[in-house]
Structures are given as C-alpha cells and as structure tokens.
Amino acid sequence: MHACLSVCLSVCLSVCIFYCSQLPCYSGIRKLGEKSARYTQQNTVELQCRYIKIRTAIIIVDKIDKDKDGFVTEEELKSWIEYVQKRYIVQDTERMWADHQITNNAMTWESYKNRTYGFADDDDFSSSYKEMIERDQRRWKAADRNGDGQLSKDEFMDFLHPEEVEHMRDIVVDETIEDIDKDKDGYISLEEYIADIYEEDDEDGDEDDVGDHDKDHKDGEPDWVRSEREQFISTRDKNKDGRLDKGEVRQWIIPEDYNYVEAEATHLLHASDEDEDGKLSKQEILDKSDVFVGSQATEFGEALVRHDEF
Ligand SMILES: [Ca+2]
Ligand SMILES: [Ca+2]
Ligand SMILES: [Ca+2]
Ligand SMILES: [Ca+2]
C-alpha cells in the first residue's frame, strides 16, 4: 500500500472511530429524530407562511391594482378598502336575513324579537333583557324609514350597521352614552370614560382594578390611561364642563374631519412604501405583508382564507 494512502486510511479510520464514539445512544437518536421531525414540521409551517405571504402580495397587487400597472396607489387602496367594507356589510346582512323569518320581503318586529330573545311574554323577561329589547326596538324604529313597522332588507342593513348611515348616527351616540354612563345622568364623566376604556383593556381582568380609577389611585395608572385622561380634558370635553354631552360624544366617535378609509389607506401606504415613491410595488407589499394581512379594515387575512374568490 502506498504510504500516503495508508496514512490517509488511518486518519479516516481515526476520524470515524472518534465520531462513532460521539454518537448518542438509541434514545438519544430517537430524540434527535423527534427533534428533526419537529424541525421539519416547523420548517413546513415557515414555508407555508412564506407561501401565504407571497400569495398575499400577488393577490393584493392584482386585485387592488385597477389600472394594471403593477403598482398599488393610495387611491386604489381606498377604493379596495371601501369595496371590502361594503362587501362585509352586505354579506353580514344577507346571512342574518336568511336566518330570520321573512314574510313578503320584510321582517316584523315580533319575528325579530322572538328569534333573538325567545318566545315569552314581555313581563317574563328579566330587567336586563327588557332593557336590551327596548334598545333594539328604538334602533328598529330609527331603521324603519317608511314607518310601516317592518324592515325591508335595506332597512335591516341599517339596523345591523347603524354606524354606516347618517340617519342612524344619533342612535349610535345614544347607545354609546348608555353603555358608558354608569350613574345614568345622561352624560359621560371623566371617571366613567376612563372606567370604560381601562376595564376593556385590563389584561388580567381583575375587577379590583376598576377601583384604580378613583382619583386617589390615578398616580398608579399606566401612561396610556393618563394620556386618555388628558385627551378627555383637552380635546373631548369641548365646553369644559367636565363631562361629555351628546354633541361631544358624537364628535368623539364619529368625528366629521376624520375619514376612516382614507386614514387606513394612508397608514398602509406609509407603512410599506420603502422607496417613498408614493405607490406600492409587489416587493414592498411582500416585505410588509404582516401589515396588510393584519389590517382589519381591509380584511386581507380573511380574504385569503376565502381564496376561492380570487
Ligand atoms: Ca319599513
Ligand atoms: Ca354619567
Ligand atoms: Ca362637556
Ligand atoms: Ca414604492
């Protein structure tokens, strides 16, 4: 044997023996196997996520890019958001309409009430149910534009989504005040305002924390709650009487100078427009696909699930 080959074989053998001695026992090998299976699984999920993201970018650009120049502009984003929102409202109305008893293309109050609250004499309902029924009935009357006591499908759409139409907005304001106005004086005080948002976002759900809204405890409040407090005083309470009346609540929840669709389109554009040319390429949308998939206003995530539409 050539000396060189012999040295080479001997080195190979030593390396082999060394690595064999380092090999894990059987259970170790099994664990390695499980680990690798997990890795493969994780890898598959990552690959799938990547696939979904690429698919999202392509779908988004193709569906929103009306003039087919390969870029998405702010105007194209706005019309897409409007379209998706409108589609949601129409589909939701269709679903609910199909779930109720319809006679001569209309729904009666009685059939809505029975379907929603069950069959019972009015006196048999608990007081909280009675309140809900009265509230629904008031909303029903506001939605019943021709005043015939029944709702057509269009009227029912306004009943289900009152925030979308001007003639229902007083109802939205009234319902908001009723939800927050705990002492029932018809106004939202600073403490009622804070109790509403703080309770809602209270992560541990500990009811004792509600007591933290007392003035005595406000030093311990998180920064965002304190800034809401300041916002109430400086912006929301226009006439500075320490409470919000109907007009002030309306300004707060349905601000005239705020266009939700425009704001969302601007947000999506600014969050993704890397080269700042005012429009989004497929690559820019791909790089920020999380922003798009997570956008509730655009329902991109949901649109992907219903990919048969594309
Ligand atoms: Ca009607
Ligand atoms: Ca109050
Ligand atoms: Ca006020
Ligand atoms: Ca761009």
Q: Is 232 helix (H, G, I), strand (E, B) or coil?
A: helix
Rounded to the nearest angstrom, the distance between the alpha carbon of 252 and the centre of ligand 1 is 30
CA of 164 to the centre of ligand 1 (A): 18
Torsion of CA 73, 78, 79, 84, to 10 degrees: 120
User: What distance in angstroms lies between residue 186's CA and the mean position of ligand 2's atoms?
Assistant: 6
Structure confidence by residue, pLDDT tens digits, 82-140: 888 889 899 999 999 999 999 999 999 999 999 999 877 777 778 888 899 999 999 99
Spell out where 115-170 has E strands: 150-151
Check pLDDT > 80 for residue 306: no
The Cα 5–Cα 11 span in angstroms is 10
pTM, whole model, 2 decimals?
0.66
Q: Are 61 and 72 in contact (CB under 8 A)?
A: yes
Give 41 or 293, the one with higher predicted confidence: 293
Q: 77 CA distance to ligand 4 centroid (A)?
A: 13
Closest ligand, as measured to the CA of 146: 1
Between residues 287 and 134, the one the model is more confident about? 134
In this predicted model, which residue has the larger pLDDT, 113 or 217?
113
- When the pLDDT of each residue in the chain is averaged and rounded to a whole number, the result is 80
204 vs 134: which has the higher pLDDT: 134
Instruction: List the beta bridge partners of residue 73.
Output: 279
d(CA 135, CA 133): 5
Cα R_g (the chain), whole angstroms: 30
Q: What is the pLDDT of residues 218-272, one digit of tens each?
A: 667 899 999 999 999 999 999 999 999 999 999 999 888 788 889 989 999 999 9
The neighbouring-strand residues paired with 106 are 103
CA of 282 to the centre of ligand 4 (A): 9
Closest ligand relative to 247 C-alpha: 3
Q: Which of residues 300 and 54 earns the better pLDDT score?
A: 54
Q: Which of 194-198, 268-272, 304-308 has the lowest mean pLDDT?
A: 304-308
Who surrounds ion ligand 1 at CB < 5 A? 144, 146, 148, 155
d(CA 57, CA 59): 6
- Spacing, Cα 236 to ligand 3 middle (Å): 8
3-state secondary structure of 150: strand
